[in-house]
Amino acid sequence: MSERVTVKVLLLFGDQAEIVADAPPAERSEPARYPAADIAAAVGVGVSDLPGTRLTADVGEDDRLSGWQLA
């Protein structure tokens, strides 16, 4: 069974979105990068609208996120 977490898109870096846990900055882990187009398509927003967006995602066994949804 996977765990669902809340995350935030910090910024876009080329075609990648930098994702962090939606937590106070002191409690955040290092940002992870995911394809921005894949996230935007999954949640129905434009790529340029992703920064600042709060999402939920499933954490896989490999700690990679998937199953993006708007929070």
Query: What are the φ/ψ torsions at residue 27 (nearest 5 degrees)?
Result: -100, 0
- Residues 10-65 have pLDDT tens digits of 999 999 999 998 877 787 788 999 999 999 999 999 999 999 999 999 998 888 99
pTM metric for this prediction: 0.89
Residue 65 · residue 17 · CB < 8 Å = no
Residue 28 · residue 42 · CB < 8 Å = no
| pLDDT value for 28 | 76
